Structure 1
Amino acid sequence: MHDFVVVGCGPAGARFARSAAERGHDVLVLEQGEVGEPLACSGHVSLDIWDYVPDGAREELFQNAIRGARFHLGGADSTAHEFYREGPISNAIDRVGLDRTLAEAAAEAGADVRDHHTVTAVDERQGGVTVTARGPDGTERHEARMVVGADGPRSRVRDECGLPEPDEFLHGVLGFDEAPDAQDFVDVHLTVPRFFAWRIPRGDAGVEYGLAVSPGEDERARFEALCEDYGVTLDRRCSGLIPVGPPKRVTGRRSLLVGDAAAQTKPFTGGGILYGMRAADHAAREVDPDAPGTLGDYERSWRDELRTEQRLGHLVRAGYSVPEPLQRAGLRAFSGEIGVHMDEPSTLFSREQLRALLGR
């Protein structure tokens, strides 16, 4: 019997598998397709990402250094308000390569990572779980003390174990232009209802365009308008759901959720790579597969770390929808050099940010 069966090998699942295996647990990871495919997530991340990958991986994954953002209340040619630092704030990275690097690190730590395994059922019982999967050689059944749902916004584990859904789902669209662009500013357009659109230069890898909208909005039409505004035609694109707002419970009798399955994301950008991996570390540290009561320790610990950032993130997102005169006034007031961390809205109130404001 395995200690954990992890369903999904994105950043959160791979990070949990690696951390749990390093603690001596027997970990099996089942990924539906090939690790990293299909791409459905932006590759724009904070510099903290390098704390989670093995030494030497940065050279292969790094694409471009970003030190600022231009915020627009109109199209590509509209007046922009710039926010920046002297050095890099974030990086554009190889997003598919990140998943594969993290999966390899989990395997090297001792986890059994298997791709092309589609989980079809999870039977959660008093003494353990049975995970049924369809693999290359037919149907398989795996016994474990606990199951970890790291299988994205439409989590099979969440549904099978009767856990509640996130508060909200957004629809995201990404497209890629292969023309190299090494600019060190991203463009953000506050023109999408209740969210935004973006343009991210990725060095020799090209440019990423994207946006996210609430259900009921026509994301395809809005994305075509964004591309037309920038004068690009994109053949390579993808889409996916973005969960926002964690449910009140992400654990069951013998189950737990991490990453997008638990909506451990930033409400103001939809990104969840760092939040999901931080939560995965909490899970690996707190949960004893032989003691279901420790699932409550995981619930408390990850929420204690992320609660404030997620609450403040909701306030930041609310600013996307205030009347345009208020948006303009706010952007003018805060534009210039900044001292904030892109994953931590609490740094809006940090000493570094205060010094940046006073130094203008």
Structure 2
Amino acid sequence: MYDFVVVGAGPAGSRFARSAAEAGRDVLVLESGEIGRPLACSGHVSLDIWDFLPGEGDRRESSESRAVNDERSESSAASAHDDLFQNDIYGARFHLGGADSEAHTFYKDEPVSNAIDRVGLDKTLAECAEQAGAEVRDGYTVTDVDEKPGRVEVTAKGPDGVESFECRIVAGADGPRSRVRQEVGLPDPEELLHGVLGFDFEPDDEDYVDVHLTVPRFFAWRIPRGEAGVEYGLAVAPGDDAPGRFEELLEDYDVELDERCSGAIPIGPPERTVGKRSFLVGDAAAQTKPFTGGGIIYGMRAADIAAREIDPEQPATLENYETAWREELASEQRLGKLIRAGYSMPKPIQKAGMKAFSGEIGVHMDRPTSLFSKAQLRALLSWN
């Protein structure tokens, strides 16, 4: 019997598998298709991403486990940044209209974020989980999760037919439309937006992303990705015309895309994320930023909390995880929700706010609470 079966090998699932395996747990990860595919998530991330990848920046890895893994991770430690990095981003240009509209620029003199290879990120994190001792299998679609006294039975359709796996705890890291969440009867996120992405492979190493507050209740974006090209995207509320609005964005930029994809973006955590012998992590738990929809870093922070708090032989410790991850992310998510409300304010108020605050910033893109930091205060004072 496994200690944990993790359903989903995205960033949150693979990060939990790695952290749990490093803690001595017996972990199986099941991914429904090819790891990293189909792509349905932006590759624009804060610099914190490198803390979760092999190398000196991985401060979350214990010195003991690092010593164990030094030999087998040496090559990946040297290459993770080079393999995944695409472009440095120094700030954002905010528009209330299209591509040619007035831009309000927010910037730093050093990179604030990176564009990365999003598919490569999933593959690298899954490899990290395997190196830590987790068993990772792709091509396994989970069809049933049954919480029984003393164990959980997970049924999946794999390359060789239907198989069943027993574990003490099952982790639902299987995205916005989580099958685990459905099977164990946990509630849905507050909201599922419809996100659309597209890629132009013409190289672009520009320093700024473009954000357009032209989509009701959310926004559209353009992200330069260096030699990998440019990412375009937007998200809309259910029932809105995502394809039509996306075509308008592309026409505005006069661009034809080489690749497209789409997916759901969960906003607002459900009332509960733990069951009798189950828990949700990452997008399945809507551990995302309400003002951007991004959840890579939040999900991996929650994954580390799960590995720390949950004892597979003591299901009652699931409640420790429920409490701890909410305490970790609550302030950021609450403030992020208020920031998102600004997207729907009347245009004159938006314009006045942007003029007042555009310029050098001291804000961390994953931490809305940094709006009240000393760094941001210094940036505000420097404008005078």
- Scaled by the length of structure 2, what TM-score is found? 0.93
Distance, in Å, in 2 between the alignment partners of 1:119 and 1:21 is 21
Q: Give the superposed CA RMSD.
A: 0.4
**TM-aligned CA deviation for residue 248 of structure 1:** 1.2
Q: What is the alpha-carbon distance in structure 1 between the residues aligned to residue 151 and residue 89 of structure 2?
A: 46
1:157 to 176, 180, 192: 180
**Equivalent position of 1:23 in the other structure:** 23
Distance in 2 (CA, whole Å) between partners of 1:154 and 1:247 is 12
Aligned to 2:326: 303
Matched, 1:42 2:38: no
Structure 2 residue runs without a partner (length 5+) = 56-77
> What is the DSSP-based 3-state SS (H/G/I as helix, E as strand, rest coil) of the residue aligned with 1:296?
helix
The one-letter amino acid paired with 2:372 is F
Distance 1:339 1:161 in 2: 42
Q: Give the SS at the match of 1:250.
A: coil
The alignment of Structure 1 onto Structure 2 pairs a total of residues equal to: 360
What does residue 285 of structure 1 align with? 308
- Where does 1:168-187 land on structure 2 (aligned, <5 Å)? 168-187=191-210
Local SS of the residue matching 1:87: coil
Are 1:341 and 2:380 counterparts? no
Cα deviation for residue 27 of structure 1 reads 0.1
1:52 alignment partner in structure 2: 52
Contact 2:201 2:258 in 1 (8 A): no
In 2, Cα distance between equivalents of 1:245 and 1:3: 29
- 1:126: how far off? 2.2
SS of structure 2 residue aligned to 1:81: strand
Instruction: Please state how far the C-alpha of 1:73 moved relative to its aligned partner.
Output: 0.2
Deviation at 1:233, TM superposition (A): 1.0
Asked whether the equivalents of residues 176 and 209 of structure 1 are also in contact (C-alpha less than 8 Å), the reply is yes
Which runs of at least 4 in structure 1 moved beyond 2 Å after TM superposition?
A: none
Aligned residue type for 2:267: V
> In structure 1, what residue type is equivalent to 2:45?
V
User: Is structure 2 residue 124 aligned with structure 1 residue 101?
Assistant: yes
Q: Aligned ranges for residues 153-232 of structure 1 at < 5 Å? A: 153-232=176-255
Match for 1:54: what amino acid? P
Query: What is the CA distance between 1:235 and its match in structure 2?
Result: 3.5
What are the ranges of 5 or more consecutive residues in structure 1 without an aligned counterpart?
A: none
Contact 2:217 2:344 in 1 (8 A): yes
Does structure 2 retain, via aligned residues, the 8 Å contact 1:126–1:253?
Answer: no
Q: 2: distance between equivalents of 1:156 and 1:28? A: 17
Bigger mean CA deviation after superposition, 263-272 or 48-57: 48-57
In the alignment, the residues of structure 1 paired with residue 120 and residue 226 of structure 2 have an alpha-carbon distance, to the nearest angstrom, of 16
Give the residue type in structure 2 aligned to 1:7: V
Per-residue CA deviations over 1:240-293 (Å, capped at 9, x if unaligned) read: 000000011000000000000000000000000000000000000000000011
| 1:126 and 1:254 in contact (8 A); partners too | no
Kindly provide the amino acid, as one letter, of the partner of residue 74 in structure 1: G
Q: Secondary structure at the match of 1:144?
A: strand
Distance in 2 (alpha carbons) for counterparts of 1:258 and 1:63: 27
SS at match of 2:227: coil
